[in-house]
Structure 1
Amino acid sequence: MQNVKKRLQDGFKQPRQDLVLCSVCKGRAVVKGVFYELVCTDCNGSGWVIEGSRLVLPLEELVTQLSFKLQQAQKQIEALKRPAKAVGPQRQYQVSNRLGAGATNYTGD
């Protein structure tokens, strides 16, 4: 028998589409009418269109694509919140090595 390795097919993955702000409403989802604001018809009231083609996504797909965009933004926020790890000589001053008098930090200065 042949040993076949199972793998996830591309058909099971949801394709990621690059979204850009609607050029008509500038991402606000509404345009100014004479007396009140109207829903933007170019982006179907979402404020987002597909990059390059400027096509409108159906609502079911738009929710998924916006969720992908939100997850990506949250990852970037978390990465920026983490403190940067010191490298090189400054690392001695930030991490206690307990080699000094009374188990304090010894830097060799």
Structure 2
Amino acid sequence: MRKSHGPAFSKQMIELVQCPTCKGKAVIKGVFHDLACAQCNASGWVVAATGEALPLEELVTQLSLRLQAAQRHISELKQPRATGPEAIYQEGNRRGAGGSNRTLD
């Protein structure tokens, strides 16, 4: 059954790109000092489809979703994966007693 009204069941990630005005730095050069970029609400990110800044509550959520995805990717890259004959030896083949690993060593 499709949902027809109310909030979404899960938060969807919105595609973000760097702000073209500040080039993702969140500040622009003023005459005497740096000023917060008004185009992106001083975040450095805008919506890819429209180029508009997100409201601050939505921006925090979207940046958190991106950070969580990046952390998952980093943790996957840190886990070494066996290759070749070692991979076959390391994975459980469930051929032993009670479904345990049997290697025939």
TM-score normalized with structure 1 length? 0.70
Across the two proteins, how many residue pairs are aligned to each other? 89
The offset of 1:24, in angstroms, is: 1.1
Q: CA RMSD in A?
A: 2.4
Give the 3-state SS of the residue equivalent to 1:25 in structure 2: coil
Give the 3-state SS of the residue equivalent to 1:31 in structure 2: strand
Map Cα deviations across residues 13-41 of structure 1 (whole Å, 9 max, x no partner). 22220111111111110001111000101
Q: Which residue of structure 2 aligns with residue 55 of structure 1? A: 52
| Structure with bigger gyration radius | 1
* Unaligned runs of at least 5 residues, structure 2: 91-102
* Unaligned runs of at least 5 residues, structure 1: 1-6, 100-109
The offset of 1:98, in angstroms, is: 9.6
TM-score normalized with structure 2 length? 0.73
Identity %: 45
Match of 2:83 among 82, 86, 93: 86
Task: Spell out structure 1 runs of 4+ moving beyond 4 A.
Answer: 7-10
Q: Which residue of structure 2 aligns with residue 40 of structure 1? A: 37
Q: Which residue of structure 1 aligns with residue 96 of structure 2? A: none
